[in-house]
Amino acid sequence: MRGVGDGLRGTRGHRAHARAQLLAGQPLGHVVIHRTGLRARLPHTAEHLTERGQHLAQLGRVEAPGARSADPEAERVVRARIFAALARRVLFAPAFVVIAIRESEREVSHMPNVTRRDLHDSVRRPVTRRCPRRAKSPPRNPCLSPLFPAAIITVVRVNRRILTLLAALLPVVVLGVAGSLVTVPFVALGPGPTVNTLSVVNDKQVVDVRGVPVDPTDGHLNMTTVSVRDGLNIFEAFGFWLSGDHGLVPRAEVYPPDKTREEIDKSNQQDFSDSESNAEVAVMRYLHLPTAVLVRAVSEDGPAKDALRAGDQFVSVNGAPVNTPKDVVDAVSAQQPGSKITVVVLRDNAEQTVTVTLGARPGATAKGYMGITTGEGARQPMQVTFNLADIGGPSAGLMFSLALIDKLTPGELDGGKFVAGTGTIDQDGKVGPIGGIQYKMIAAREAGAQTFLVPAANCNEAKQRTPDGLRLVKVENLSGAVQSLDDIKAGKDVPSCG
């Protein structure tokens, strides 16, 4: 009989096959059992096979066709003879499994080369091992089975594999921890929000004009921004670098180390406020409308905090008329700290006279100081307010100016096109360069812009990375920007960066 099995199922298969061979009168052959079956089931199988008739009785209940006799006694004798023959065949079959575990390859070899006599002797005379009483270096348990050294080898080899795996994973774990916790001295610049200056944000017009008739506006004149992401770890920085829409620049270029974050934010907010004031003055001059000197901001702890408010229009200081912001500075500086001055302002279209006790000017303590910021703007009754928070920098000046012109003049300035742009502006209407032009163009195109107004000084940079479907229009000043938009409506050629 020749069969292969891994456990009890295979052993039962051998028994059934042996029984069939005995009933058919065929001799038994060799038996080969895998190592797994030997370890797991061989002692159990030997226990059943070494006891004659103990677990083989059930074999007698299965007979070959025609083997049943009419005489019960004769049938019993036949069964007994079958049992005895089966026991002898199984117990003394020339099949003895030798398992050799090779240390280098850890393979299992089956060698059915033992004679029946060897098997018979091994069954009748079990091998006994005695533990040595004294040894120089005795093993922890020298009375273990012959398979124990192989088990030790297996465990050692498994441990080595685990150690190898851990050694390979350690750099990955270290890199993962370092990449997540270690920050890099760079910031990521990318496309920021775009805002339609003709729209409503937080229930307020972005460019709000009151006191004069306003032309209804529709369409898009979008300002664009650049997003700045700080505090990046290694993985985040690498991801932004691979994205293609972002760029990494040294942090010191955005946040100078000699200034605090609060100082930088305050400076950006001041630049944004100045861009609003410049846009208002540039539009007043472009449309030839009168301007006035206004209170732009009042210091919370300044001498004039209870007397003046933002938006007040200067009429006179100590009786001297005010036509420029310099007139206010000269009149106040001529007074000593502690002096009282009389200021006449126009507030809500009505004149009011207030008295301010001057303080000492920072850096020039001998001169008077009111603690206000002045600037030019639209003369009352017109009042212009820009309602856009959480944005810093001066780059919105051009688009604020165009939105204000669109509200103060008939027709739609954008001509039904989605127009976006960027650029600083001064009070004379000159458009200046900005940073991050490539990211602003991406943001504009993603928002749906078809035309993008580019400061002339940024054209070389812009044309190198122009998004598909975006038309670049070169702009040098406010009047040129308005003329280009009119020409686009008329289907004429306009200055381009290309």
CA separation for the pair 305, 297 (Å, rounded): 10
DSSP 3-state of 84: helix
Do 214 and 407 touch, CB atoms closer than 8 A? yes
Is 440 among the catalytic positions? yes
The three-point CA angle 293-200-488 to 5° equals: 85
Containing 11, the helix (H) or strand (E) segment is helix 8-24
Determine the number of helices (DSSP H) and then strands (DSSP E) in the chain: 13, 20
Rounded-to-integer distance, Cα 50 and Cα 385, Å: 106
Residue of 367, 407, 440, 474 marked active site? 440
C-alpha to C-alpha distance for 247 and 241, rounded to whole angstroms: 6
DSSP conformation letters of 375-428: EEEEPTT-EEEE---S--SSTTHHHHHHHHHHHHSSS-TTTTSEEEE--EE-TT
Q: Residues in the chain, how many?
A: 498
**333 in active site:** no
Q: Please state, in angstroms and rounded to a whole number, the distance separating the CA atoms of residues 185 and 158.
A: 44
Closest CA to 383 of 299, 297, 280: 280
Can you tell me the distance from the alpha carbon of 61 to that of 81, in angstroms, rounded to the nearest whole number?
Answer: 14
Name the active-site residue from 275, 277, 367, 395: 395
What token pair was written down for 306? 């209870």
Token code pair at residue 84: 């005895």
The token pair at 91 is 């117990």
- Which residues does the annotation mark as catalytic? 395, 440
